[in-house]
């Protein structure tokens, strides 16, 4: 699992290496995971954050493959998440299955 996020607030880089709990809803199916803030990058006036963790189980991939939308929200409320000016967002993930299958196919070659 890899999620990129952005904020216009300052100070996020101080929290690299810390983790947060994340709520994810895939077309009504709710799951939770813990993600580490693995890196931050300054980009103009904002900071880009990269959150990740270990590879997700196959059942999680099946949920994603059968979903069209993803809602992500930070469940942890601490100094790290206070820096994020956006606490949740919704993403269209309809192209995930095609992209995932193509990547898997290329890996097998």
Distance CA 62, CA 71 (A): 16
CATH 1.25.40 fits 2-108, yes or no: no
Distance CA 32, CA 16 (A): 21
Query: pLDDT, tens digit, for every residue of 84-106?
Result: 999 999 999 988 888 888 888 88
CA 13 vs. chain centroid, Å, equals: 17
What pLDDT, on a 0 to 100 scale, did the predictor assign at position 109?
Answer: 76
Query: pLDDT, tens digit, for every residue of 36-64?
Result: 999 999 999 999 999 998 777 788 888 88
pTM of the model: 0.81
What pLDDT, on a 0 to 100 scale, did the predictor assign at position 99?
Answer: 86
Tokens of 94: 């309809």
Q: CA distances (Å), 24 to each of 30, 34, 45, 48, 107, in order?
A: 6, 11, 28, 20, 28
């Amino acid at each position: 699992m890899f999620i990129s996020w952005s904020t216009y607030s300052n100070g996020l880089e101080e929290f690299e290496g810390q983790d947060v709990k994340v709520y994810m809803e895939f077309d009504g199916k709710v799951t939770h995971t813990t993600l580490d803030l693995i890196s931050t990058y300054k980009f103009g006036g904002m900071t880009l954050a990269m959150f990740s963790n270990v590879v997700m189980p196959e059942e999680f991939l099946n949920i994603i493959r059968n979903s069209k939308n993803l809602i992500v929200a930070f469940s942890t409320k601490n100094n790290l998440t206070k820096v994020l000016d956006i606490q949740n967002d919704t993403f269209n993930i309809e192209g995930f299955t095609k992209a995932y299958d193509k990547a898997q196919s290329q890996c097998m070659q």
